[in-house]
Amino acid sequence: MTEILPMNDEHISAVALEKIYFKGEIQVPVLRGIRMSAKKGEFLSIIGQSGSGKSTLLHLLGLLDTPDVGEVLLEGQRIDDLPPRVRDELRNRVFGFIFQFYHLLPELNLLDNVLTPQMIRYSIREYWTKRKELKERARYFIDQVGLSHRITHKPSELSGGEMQRAAIARALMGEPKLLLADEPTGNLDVGTGGEIMELLNRLNEEQQLTIIMVTHDRAVAKQAHRTICLQEGKVAKLAEVA
């Protein structure tokens, strides 16, 4: 008889997450029992006032930081307590990150900005063996984000929207299953931000990429499938939020 396993379509979950920072001797609780999850292929937005803990939550989900209490589950398996090396490998293999200020390297052109972070994923030797193949992939993702005509340009020669597209191509190079975006339109005008949202929505639909996006902008948040709101380190009902 075939064993029927329970379906678990939750891609990533936070269970009773708490994070406390210290300002000198004073404890500042930032996350105070967060319970949330995103399903596979879901586009989830997180809103909340400045200081409500949105970025902190994103960092914990993406293994950029560790919780003080609670758990982070990936496909039902706890990942926050793994040894540092395993966490690092998992982070590189599973997550792609996009930030408000792009974090591109100013001295490298677009192609090298997209390509070079792969050195972290592979050993230097592997990287150089694979470099031709990686270069082709980088060109492919640069084309996907509509920047083929800018491939030799340095970040200073790109617009804000183009820099964010470059950052998205760089994230896609790691073939992430989950894209974590922290204010991806926060530094862009409404029109350019809209184009970035269109791109994220297309990636979500075409590649079934799970996306979790932090934003303070409700109009941007609404373009995701679902929105949760953080208030004083907890998940609040949207109706409760002013």
Ligand X SMILES: Nc1ncnc2c1ncn2[C@@H]1O[C@H](COP(=O)(O)OP(=O)(O)OP(=O)(O)O)[C@@H](O)[C@H]1O
Residues binding ligand X (CB under 6 A):
21, 28, 30, 48, 50-56, 216
What is the β-pairing status of strands 226-231 and 43-48?
parallel
Minimum distance from CB of 97 to ligand X (Å)?
A: 14
Indicate if the alpha-carbon torsion angle 95, 96, 102, 105 is positive or negative: positive
DSSP letter for 241, please: -
Q: How far is the CB of 70 from ligand X (least distance, A)?
A: 15
- Cβ proximity to ligand X: between 53 and 174 the closer is 53
Burial (CB count <10 Å: 0-12, 13-18, 19+), residue 120: exposed
CA dist 165 and 200 (Å) reads 10
Nearest to ligand X of 20, 108 (CB atom):
20
Q: Which is nearer to ligand X, 202 or 218 (CB)?
A: 218
Q: How far is the CB of 214 from ligand X (least distance, A)?
A: 6
Nearer to ligand X, 17 or 30 (CB): 30
Least separation, in Å, of the C-beta of 11 and ligand X? Answer: 21
Q: How far apart are CA 8 and CA 14, in angstroms?
A: 15
Residue 6 per-residue DSSP state: P
